[in-house]
Amino acid sequence: MAFMNSKYIPVIPAKAGIQKHVIVALALLVVCMLPLTGTGAPRPGTPVVLIDPAHGGEDTGVVSDKLREKDLTLKLALLIRQEAQKKPGLQVQLTRLADRRMTTAERAKMAETMKADCTVSLHVNAGFGKTSTGYEIYFPGFHQEASGGKDASPIIKDMTRNKSLNDSVRLAQQIRSGLETVLPRKGRGLRDAPIPLLEGSTIPGLVVEIGFATNPDDRKKLIEPETQKAIANAIVNSLRNYFSSAP
Q: Which domains does the chain have, with CATH numbers?
A: 38-244 (3.40.630.40)
pLDDT value at 28 more than 80: no
Residues 6+ apart with CB under 8 A from 118: 47, 49, 50, 167, 168, 171, 203, 204, 205, 206, 239, 242
Least confident range from 4-18, 74-88, 227-241: namely 4-18
Summarised one tens digit per residue, pLDDT across range 51-71 is: 999 999 999 999 999 899 999
Confidence at residue 40, expressed as pLDDT on a 0 to 100 scale: 52
Question: What backbone torsions phi and psi does residue 113 show, to the nearest 5 degrees?
Answer: -65, -45
Reference 122, options 211, 198, 182, 219; nearest CA is 211
45 torsion bin: left (phi>0), alpha (psi -120 to 50), beta (else): left
Whole-angstrom Cα Rg for the chain: 23
Pairing status of strand 48-53 against strand 91-94: parallel
Tell me, what DSSP letter sits at residue 148?
-
CA–CA distance, 138 with 157 (Å, rounded to integer):
22
Percent of the chain exceeding pLDDT 70 equals 74
What are the distances in angstroms from CA 43 to CA 8, 40, 113, 119? 48, 8, 15, 17
Q: How is 6-29 classified by DSSP, letter by letter?
A: S-------HHHHHHHHHHHHHHHH
